Structure 1
């Protein structure tokens, strides 16, 4: 029977176990450069089969939160290289999550104070994280976006290709995960609630998915299909994401992804960080049919599930064949040795919410492993 602790190879990436660390934004990279604390943070968690980094902006325009890392500058790539070298020395495997936030941003974070960009000029009912002149963090309403011009879209696709190539070639990542979830730019194009375009990128499901497939093809060109995954969240309401009929939309998406030979599909089941049985539209989302659409279309990538999993639920998902890996998010914050704690059925520590976003070592790299705590 398959367990969390069995090895697996996903695409071109061999993994020691089937536990993934989900992306966790921590807002500790001033000037978008991951520093020494990031090296320590990820290395502490290198026992996970697959580390997926916090979401990382592919361009300055793609940034939506203060002090999140980037993939578009030499200092940023050099900072990430120190992280990946250290993780590899500890025996781990690490991919970076590639991010363009679209409308989930604030004009103070954009180049020249410009408006954030989106498929359509529809302001999101959501918030972002800013840091004031005194260094204190606060959450603020997102700014009103402007709709992307048709001739701007190829440039963003190229930003994805360039970032993917740099991530693997310069920063030393084992691969990349395209952030296609949680109401950010790719997801904004997919959903009719945020995409009111009337050109080739709006209207029909085929048109709304066009941007996603162009991005995927560009990232494959930059990194190689066996080192590319994508994260999807079919029904989450995160960041004002909404579509009245997500089943045919996301089945169309995974059928198209099946032909592209990706290393993995990473699925958030239900509401991000919330109820697993949350749904949108008139009917409950059929998760089995969603996965079957991918497999029946020839998709061979590993199927990673995420959202509120504990050990028992994770083991059931693997044993039943419903998943190939399970991603854990928040438990990794306060439990750098989460893999060992799961293996030995040890109690899990709870994270300090006051230190979740921004700051320094406190609440970031100072959570003890079980052996340290016992000592």
Structure 2
């Protein structure tokens, strides 16, 4: 009886073990045949065989970890495919054959994408996934640094854009946060900020000197995508009153975004960008503390400062921004504050804003067009 049950148990597990062994043997044979093709300088054969070995590596991972829950099968497969890509790429570096590196890197990218889309289950699987993703990003940075020209002139630029996105997706999986649009926007804002920062970082400009697409991508990220992310987050928080789980981190990335956009803006308009950013950040901070009625007075003070400074330093762009903020103050007083604020705040807002505008007319005459940009 015992012998029969043991025999039947062994028979039940034999097909699974056989499939695992067959997948591993097939992968090993494909890698060996690929080595022979590379050594014999058969480039076409090497590409075909290494495509097959990359696919078989994915099959082997599935055969080994198919019974793991959730996305753990992808998390456990990632280190194996990464080791194959790194080992084969390093082994064939002297022969100048990139077939194994490209094919197995594609397998690594596939497994990594699946692991980021399907969260792994279990502490061990999470640790393996995090270590594998970070290692893959580090090795990719080394790869594009060493083989920038053979792999492609834009490889370093692609790495600078892709790495923050991958790490952001990894943080979205493992950092505890409520699954809300505000939290997702805040995390996306940090990712966009990191991309814009690395594209504008001075030490990295010499790292990607031969990338023709750099100016276009940098301007798009800094002057379009980053301000758009800032505007979406500000509107969702201040207008719709929906805040992320960590408002301090949100305020921090928004502040860095204003500084970065001002740094990347042409000098005649840098002060104007700072003034707009200060007005928006002050409104956000006052909304956090439930002092929305004070936003009008704060904007009036910001407008006065912009008008006075713009007039004194002959910065016409800054003076115009101050005038525009003043117009918004008047519109907000008439359309919103009259009905929303308490009586005491209505009186204080009208009196304070009126005095500030009178003071601005006395202290801040409009700069002449001839003096535009003087003193910057």
Query: Would you tell me which structure has more helix in proportion to its own residues?
Result: 2
Determine which structure has more spread, i.e. the larger CA radius of gyration. Answer: 2
Instruction: Flag the structure with more relative contact order, 1 or 2, with Cα contacts below 8 A and sequence separation at least 6.
Output: 1
The alignment's TM-score, normalised by the length of structure 2, stands at 0.24
The alignment's TM-score, normalised by the length of structure 1, stands at 0.24
